[in-house]
Amino acid sequence: MSNWSRWLPALCCGLLSGCTKSNRAPEAAPSAPSTWVVRPDGLGPIRIGATVAELEAALGRRPPGADSLDPRCDYLRDPARVPGVWFMVIQGRVVRLDVDSTGPVTTEGVRVGDGTEKVQRLYAPRVVVTPHKYTDGEYLTVTPALPADSLYRMIFETDGGIITRYRVGRVPEVGWVESCS
């Protein structure tokens, strides 16, 4: 056997882009965020109460700003993975999600840009309507149907009959109008 036959496989492997030290299959990426739906207790695999590490695992990477969070209350977002979603984090745990774009949709199919009548129809009779604190719009607060979810709410903000944003999460944080302040 010539010397070539001993090191030729290693040389070829080094020249091919797919060769690595390990023959293990690459880790599976998380499911596509475009298929994730918003529920009163979270978004896709991300649940209210998740740690920042669990959020990172669900996103498939560390969210920008995760290393400099204010432990009292702060927001994380990853617009490349989940555009339009803000994660409120208190003491290292996700307590609320804020949605401000048309992409993310609730389990029942409601999204930013829909009319208030859609929320009223899909969530009746669990909707409480209150005046918006800063505009002529309203807050449509939905209490989940399942008793096990009684600590969560969905709050749709409207302006002129159209949903402009919404948030889901645990009580009392989901009701905070000024976010962390």
Nearest to 168 by CA among 104, 73, 74: 104
3-state SS class at 176: coil
| pLDDT on residue 160 | 79
150: containing domain: 33-175
| pLDDT on residue 35 | 85
Nearest to 62 by CA among 74, 70, 73, 54: 54
User: One digit per residue, pLDDT tens: the chain, 181 residues?
Assistant: 444 344 334 434 443 334 333 344 334 444 557 789 999 999 999 999 999 999 999 999 999 999 999 999 999 999 988 999 999 999 999 999 999 999 899 999 999 999 999 999 999 999 999 999 999 999 999 999 988 889 999 999 999 799 999 999 999 999 999 999 7
Q: What angle do CA 18, 82, 48 make, to 5 degrees?
A: 115
The CATH number assigned to the domain holding 92 equals 2.60.460
Q: What is the dihedral of CA 50, 51, 57, 58, to 10 degrees?
A: 30
- Whether 12 is in a domain gets the answer no
- Whether 11 is in a domain gets the answer no
Helix locations, the chain, DSSP H: 3-15, 52-59, 116-123
- Whether 171 is in a domain gets the answer yes
- Whether 52 is in a domain gets the answer yes
- Whether 28 is in a domain gets the answer no
- Whether 165 is in a domain gets the answer yes
- Whether 56 is in a domain gets the answer yes
3-state SS class at 66: helix
Query: DSSP code of 122?
Result: H
Sheet holding 37-39, edge to edge: 46-47, 42-43, 37-39, 105-106
| pLDDT on residue 23 | 42
Structural domains counted in the chain: 1
Alpha-carbon gap, residue 126 to 41, rounded angstroms: 16
| pLDDT on residue 32 | 58
| pLDDT on residue 25 | 39
Query: DSSP code of 24?
Result: P
| pLDDT on residue 155 | 98
- Whether 60 is in a domain gets the answer yes
Alpha-carbon gap, residue 61 to 143, rounded angstroms: 32
| pLDDT on residue 4 | 38
